[in-house]
Amino acid sequence: MKIGIIAAMELEINLLKMRLPVGTKERICKKEFYKAQKDKLELILVCSGQGKTNASIFTQILIQEYHPDFVLNIGVCGGITAATKLFDLYIGEQYCHYDIRKKQSVHKYPYQLYFKAQSNIVAELIKLEPQLKVGIFGTGEGFVSDKAQKNKLIQELAIDCVDMESASIAQCCYVNEIPFASLRCVCDQADEFAVCTTEALQEQAMRKVFCSLDKYLDFLSIKNALKE
């Protein structure tokens, strides 16, 4: 089984690189793609850089060059709803571009307002991590730090969390017919204090993501071995 794992920032993928024996690496379009092994799972890791454009470019390269069975996005996010707390762990069930008009999303290629995660990935992660929350991720190039914008996103798109990459990665996977899901931890509440979020706090959030990811990779290793 081959799994592509993509994150936006180095701190979102560094722990994974340290925990797994990284073998070869290739430089494509000024970014490093790392090959790692966990039992008989083959992992391809890449840090895309922040934003929708970077995420789209390197997801497409990941798919075309390495042909993963599915793609996982890991990272931090901002919490939108009142029920969302700092360090909540979320798996995205659906992903949308909140900075594109709904009419444009529906009536222009690829004709999707929401891109869906692979249902079995979501179900497997929830079974392994019962406290995991399921929600809708909204992606935009801007940084959400305003109460009025938060309320608009909730009312118009039912968004639970915001980030700058997941919907773009989901869209790339959708058009390439590759299963996808994003696992993220809330490191700010998309309010006026969001801009003060420190790297240390982001790293703390990512430790929760890595803990869940470790469990999932262990599960996939066993599942893969049973098929042989």
108: in domain: yes
Tokens of 63: 């798919």
pLDDT (0 to 100) of residue 228? 60
The more confidently predicted of residues 191 and 66 is 66
8: in domain: yes
225: in domain: no
Coil, strand or helix: which one is 199? helix
228: in domain: no
Which of 5, 45, 13, 8 has the alpha carbon at shortest distance from 206? 13
Q: What is the pLDDT of residues 61-118, one digit of tens each?
A: 999 999 999 999 999 999 999 888 999 999 999 999 999 999 999 999 999 999 999 9
How confident is the prediction for the chain on average, in pLDDT? 92
66: in domain: yes
In the predicted structure, residue 196 carries a pLDDT above the cut 80: no
195: in domain: yes
Burial string for 86-103 (b: 16+ CB within 10 Å, else e) reads eebbbbbbbbbbbeeeee
- 160, 118 in Cβ contact below 8 A? no
* Among 88-92, 115-119, 144-148, 176-180, the least confident range: 144-148
In the predicted structure, residue 10 carries a pLDDT above the cut 70: yes
CATH code for position 99: 3.40.50.1580
Q: Which domain does 12 fall in, by range?
A: 2-220
For the chain, the domain total comes to 1
